[in-house]
Structure 1
Amino acid sequence: MLKFFLYAGLVLVLLVVALLALASRKPDHFRVERSVLVDASPERIYPLVEDFRLWLRWSPYETRDPEMARIYSGAEKGAGAVYEWDGDRSIGSGSMEILEAEAPSRLVIALHFRAPMQADHTAIFTFVPEGNATRVTWAMEGKSGLIARVFHLFFDMDKMVGADFETGLAGLKAEAERELAQ
């Protein structure tokens, strides 16, 4: 019986070492990015992103937990605007702060997740005119420590977060184009 436990322990140690070796070969930085073409000018779309209160109209994260607590502080919009949330397990808790606001072309947001896991990332929105429309890109990037890289062996961050970005950009497009139609 002792031999069995020794072999099982050895196999377990080898599996952990192999897992860590695989994870260490993954990039230490990630980027998730999605874009959409919106039939509106950057000047019409930009305000929907630079004011965290307006995210209620289009962000997919705003509808996951109807009881989510929200706190807005700092500037009303643009650089210095801060948004904190505390929700159930599906949304977690954290904060966002707009670091750079280059109206109407770019916003850079510091993301700080506290739960269900701690992480610090950067979100970047860009608004590039294309004829009478605007190419809106929503990206998130950050460093991937060893634990995150192990996580990425089993879960595809691009697919998980990318799907949310696609939903959010579709909502942003609908909101900007609806305002234009009015």
Structure 2
Amino acid sequence: MLKKILLVLVVLIAAFAGYVAMQPDDLHIQRQATIAAPPAAVFDNVNDLKKWDAWSPWAKMDPNAKVGFEGPAAGKDAVFTWSGNDQIGEGKMTVVDSRPNELVDLKVDFTKPFENTSSSTFEFKPEANQTVVTWSMGGKQNFIEKAMCIVFNGKKMIGDEMDKGLAKLKTVAESGAAPAPSP
């Protein structure tokens, strides 16, 4: 009887491992929000990494995290470093491309709890008197990361945090935006 249980367990583990191995190496998550503010107001809150504390969902997970800034105050080559609790880990985020009121592209290097590099891109599109913000995250996943993503529903967890961040970005940008002109 014990041999049968072990055999079933081995088959289940092998099936799960096969399923994990068949998952794509590339992870891509995208969320979108419409913000009642001009692109410049929204862009400024993303392009200036010092302003992330006001809206980033991860900043609230560890208010005692050690943070630092390097390079220019905002835009290309601006750098944000952090070291925090188990929820946010440790790493470095660098603006690799910045086009005013259009795009902010970031390289995110995690060092703890695991090493990984990903990208995070914000696109800003004017629509009437509003701005449509598209936030995309992506990167390569190894076998363990794919398994963890399946077990803990990582895409949903990250997507939920992105939704929270966009909602807070909306609040911050709209509260600081000049009233939109009437059509």
TM-score, normalised to structure 2, is 0.90
CA distance in 2, matches of 1:122, 1:181: 31
Which runs of 5 or more residues in structure 2 are unaligned?
none
Aligned counterparts of 1:77 and 1:118: Cα–Cα separation in 2: 26
Whether 2:168 is the aligned partner of 1:171: answer yes
User: Separation in 2 of the partners of 1:13 and 1:75?
Assistant: 54
Matched, 1:139 2:133: no
Unaligned runs of 5+ in 1: none
Taking only aligned residues, the RMSD between alpha carbons, in angstroms, comes to: 1.7
* Match status 1:44 vs 2:41: yes
127, 137, 148: which one pairs with 1:130? 127
Q: How many residues align?
A: 179
Distance (whole Å) between structure 2 residues aligned to residue 153 and residue 168 of structure 1: 23
Moved more, 45-54 or 56-65: 56-65
Q: Which residue of 1 aligns with 2:61?
A: 64
Pick aligned residue for 1:102 from 91, 94, 99? 99
SS in 1 for 2:58: helix
1:1-49 deviation line (CA, Å, top 9, x unaligned): xx94x66655554333222211111111111111110011111111110
**Structure 2 CA distance for aligned equivalents of residues 143 and 91 of structure 1:** 19
The match for 2:50 is 53
Tell me the alpha carbon deviations over residues 148-175 of structure 1, each in whole angstroms, 9 at most, x when there is no partner: 2222221222210111111111111111
Amino acid at match of 1:34: R
- The equivalent position to 1:76 in structure 2, one of 73, 77, 100, is 73
Deviation at 1:56, TM superposition (A): 1.2
The 3-state SS of whatever aligns with 1:88 is: coil
Does residue 1:161 correspond to 2:161, yes or no?
no
Percent identity over the alignment? 31
Deviations 1:62-110 (A, max 9, x none): 1211210001001211110011100011221111000010111011100
8 Å Cα contact 1:122-1:140 kept in structure 2: yes
